[in-house]
Amino acid sequence: MFALALDGDKKPCHVRSSNAGQCLFTGIADPMQMTRSIEALLDPAFFGGWGIRTIAATERRYNPMSYHNGSIWPHDNALIALGTAHLQKKDLALKVLSGLLDLSLFVDLHRLPELICGFSRRTGNGPTLYPVACAPQAWAAGAVFMALQASLGLTIQTPEQRIRLYHTALPEALQRVEIRNLKVGAASMILHLKDTPDLSGSIS
């Protein structure tokens, strides 16, 4: 994976962190680096069921109750997911979106908090909330929409007043999506997307 930082001797710090996933979002990762990063982030050491941890559970510094060393941040997950919006394989984006949607069922008014603890998801149990997380939190509130955008592969080209969908997919729990009043320049439209047997989105 991409190195988290350089130490005092300018040598890479060998700590696997979610920061590497944001290289997908910025576009600086080449195809091989993207593939390897996505595979790593989908590993259970990173993805514990609710989202991608800031630090993999296999790292020495990992602490699921640490603010930065093992917790799960919705906005961090959404940025990583958006980096895969144009890819044909949507495994990472779909997992992130599903995790965030499931998380929203366990929080007040379904508002995503700033972060949650990075404990692995257990059947029949909700997430372990971070005691002093800000809720509501603006960047967390927008995370689910960014993760949805990633899953749909939706991009807007304003100068051309054009909307593009790349390899649209929906998670199993989300059978239908309707986006109203989607504005591109002076134009406005409604998008209807529904699940199909092969999990690719269809537009009507």
| Domain spans of the chain, in order of start | 18-152
Q: Distance between CA 70 and CA 128 in Å, rounded?
A: 13
**Residue 188 forms beta bridges with which residues?**
183
Beta bridge partners of 153: none
Q: What is the pLDDT of residue 161?
A: 84
Quote the pLDDT of residue 196.
62
At residue 121, the pLDDT reads 96
In whole angstroms, give the CA distance from residue 97 to residue 77.
9
Question: What CA–CA distance (Å, rounded) separates 35 from 57?
Answer: 21
Which residues of the chain are modeled with pLDDT < 70? 196-204
Q: Which pLDDT belongs to residue 170?
A: 94
Distance CA 112, CA 104 (A): 6
pLDDT score, position 72: 98
**Predicted pLDDT of residue 200:** 41
Compute the distance between CA of residue 103 and CA of residue 24 in angstroms, rounded to an integer.
24
- The C-alpha atoms of residue 194 and residue 165 are separated, in whole angstroms, by 14
Q: How far apart are alpha carbons 87 and 127 in whole angstroms?
A: 29
